[in-house]
Amino acid sequence: MYIGWKRPLDGWVKLNCDGACKGNGELVGCGGLLRQPDGTWIKGFSRKIGVRDALHAEMWGLYLGLDMAWGEGIPHLIVESDSKVIDMVTNNCKINGTIPSLVQRIQEILRREWHTQVIHTWREGNRCADWLANFSLYLNS
């Protein structure tokens, strides 16, 4: 069984995003990239977030990636992440208490006038985004 990045159908763009945490939640960052069906890079990002936890790093990676894709005018987007945040934004898990505002913002972006699919992937299918997220930890603020 192949576990790795899989190309989207023609006409679709794929967003892979991830978060990274260094130390005990002392420093977090995120990264992501957009690729065409043949794997060609469209655009990407690495951003240091600051002092947060790993869950916030993952949420920021997804939010910034979706914002970037929307800004590029991509009409058909497949979103992949190896994070539990995917379950949070697709309502596949119960959130006790108040839904985090960043999750609400992600859900608002997903409801815009475009076609999106949000999918959990294995870490092996998210290596480029993982690299960009880890790289963000070494950027100057």
Boundaries of every domain in the chain: 13-136
CB 51 within 8 A of CB 28: yes
Q: What tokens were used for 133?
A: 């997220």
pTM for the complete prediction? Answer: 0.92
For residue 52, give Cα distances in angstroms to 24, 55, 95, 111, 135. Answer: 10, 8, 19, 27, 17
- In the block, tokens 């108040």 appear at 98
Q: Model confidence at 141, in pLDDT bands (50, 70, 90)? A: low
- Domain 13-136 fold: Nucleotidyltransferase; domain 5 (3.30.420)
Distance of CA 28 to the CA centre of its chain: 14
pLDDT tens per residue, range 87-116: 888 887 777 778 889 999 999 999 999 999
What average pLDDT does this structure show over 21-49?
92
